[in-house]
Amino acid sequence: MPKKYSPSLKFQVVWEIVSEDKTAAQVARTYDVHPNTVRNWVKKFKENGSEVFAKNGEVKQLEERIRELEQLVGQKEREIAVLKNFIGNKD
């Protein structure tokens, strides 16, 4: 059975290779991961970006939640503007 690695570990390993100009072999030794596994993570990262290490649909769900919250903020801003206008007309 293959070892399972957390998304945060995968990101840390890839980040060290991409940002610190280290080789896959160097980083693999540091984290006790096979160099081919590390190379695969880097390849997937370069091909797919942030969605590579997320759980199925997690990125999509978070993006949808952000859209919902942005809509809610817009709605609240409109409500505040109406209330301010209403209060301003009473004086």
pLDDT of residue 89: 63
pLDDT of residue 13: 92
Give the pLDDT mean for 63-87: 93
Per-domain residue ranges of the chain: 1-53, 54-91
pTM above 0.85, yes or no: no
* pLDDT tens per residue across span 5-61: 998 899 899 999 988 878 999 999 999 999 999 999 999 888 877 666 666 677 778
Beta-carbon contacts of residue 28 (< 8 Å; ≥ 6 apart) = 13, 34, 35, 37, 38
pLDDT of residue 32: 93
* 41/10 Cα distance (integer angstroms): 7
The single-letter code of the amino acid at 22 is K
